[in-house]
Amino acid sequence: MADCIFCMISQGKVPCHKVYEDEKCFAFLDIAPVSRGHVLVIPKEHAAKMHELSDESCPALMLAVKKVSKAVQEAFSCDFNILNNNGKMAGQAVHHVHFHVIPRRGIKEEFSFNWVPRKQQGDDDAEEILERIKERIIGSANKQ
Ligand code: 5GP
Ligand code: ZN
């Protein structure tokens, strides 16, 4: 996509600190890292959100996330978060699918991800939620 910053980065049109590249994926340092070694892993295919990504790019992306995560873990002997935001309400600022790999070394690198308020899942509502989601899962063995 012509005006997408992450497409431009993966095509070499905008500079970045490249960490990894293969046929379908690309990884580079985040310009504003949450912690030292914060990497973004993207598909070369342009898709704004995860559910819009092709079935070909999806497994390739997960494998690239795993490879980058392993390298980051070994490089810094750290724990790490893998985060993926989809849509503005979910905090997505760049609308090209990307996974954040964020090293976590301790209290000095705390960052907040707003998990509150949280409620107890009620059984009645759980049934309705299951019905709505499960009937939309394509090719699923979930159907009973
Ligand atoms: P989001 O909020 O969409 O999940 O995260 C987008 C991330 O992309 C942010 O962490 C931001 O710092 C990073 N970012 C935005 N523009 C650029 C850029 O031009 N180069 C690099 N390396 N990272 C970027
Ligand atoms: Zn793009």
Query: What are the angstrom distances between the C-alpha of 46 and each of 15, 93, 125?
Result: 18, 15, 36
pLDDT at 115 over 90: no
Specify the amino acid at residue 80: F
Query: Does 93 contact ligand 1 (Cβ within 6 A)?
Result: yes
Q: How remote is the C-alpha of 114 from its chain's centroid?
A: 17
The residue written with tokens 């490089």 in the block is: 75
Candidate from 94, 98, 111, 112 with most ligand 1 atoms within 8 A of CB, to mutate: 94
Domains in the chain, CATH or no CATH each? 5-119 (3.30.428.10)
Interacting residues of 129 by C-beta distance below 8 A, sequence separation 6+ = none
Query: Does 5 contact ligand 1 (Cβ within 6 A)?
Result: yes
pTM: 0.91
| pLDDT (tens digit per residue) in 53-73 | 999 999 999 999 999 999 999
Residues with a known catalytic role: 98
Length of the chain: 144
Centre of ligand 1 from the C-alpha of residue 94, in Å: 6
